[in-house]
Amino acid sequence: MTKKTKAKAQKAANLLCANLTDGVFNTIVKKDNLKNTYELWQMFKSVYALDSILASYKVWAKWEDTQFNDNMAVYIIGIEECLTKFDSLGMIVPDFVICCSIISQITKKRPFLMQSLFGDLDSLGKPKFVINCLREVGRFEQTN
């Protein structure tokens, strides 16, 4: 191993170790695999992959639990938090699915609101447009 390669490996190991809790580190690094860097790397990847999967399940459950309870501002904050977490986890959720979910939540409580907001069917598949329309409704409701 060259000095440059060894320095890069040490830097990578330091970054990994600095961001791991002692429990995770001690679970992965054992005497029998200490010298096998490939095995260590595979185990680190599996721990992070599992963590990522659990985080995805958690944010999806939060998305499904976000309900419209006649307070538009609170509902919009909830869905925007979930959308931000989707992005941060690299989850690709189709715009159509997001819009259908939002529209169905609103329609359960206030069906006529959704009918009056969207005359253009193309706009129904654009989450930012839908959220902005609902935000305007929320602002109007707060002032009246």
CA distance 114 to 133: 10
The domain limits of the chain are 1-55, 66-144
What's the CA dihedral at 80, 47, 92, 111 to 10 degrees? -50
Q: What is the pLDDT of residue 17?
A: 67
Instruction: Note the pTM of the prediction, 2 decimals.
Output: 0.65
Asked whether the predicted pLDDT for residue 61 surpasses 90, the reply is yes
Binning pLDDT at 50, 70 and 90, where does residue 58 land?
very high
Q: What is the pLDDT of residue 66?
A: 93
Beta-carbon neighbour count of residue 45 at 10 Å?
Answer: 10
DSSP per residue, 10-39 = HHHHHHHHHTS-HHHHHHH--TTTTT-HHH
Binning pLDDT at 50, 70 and 90, where does residue 19 land?
low
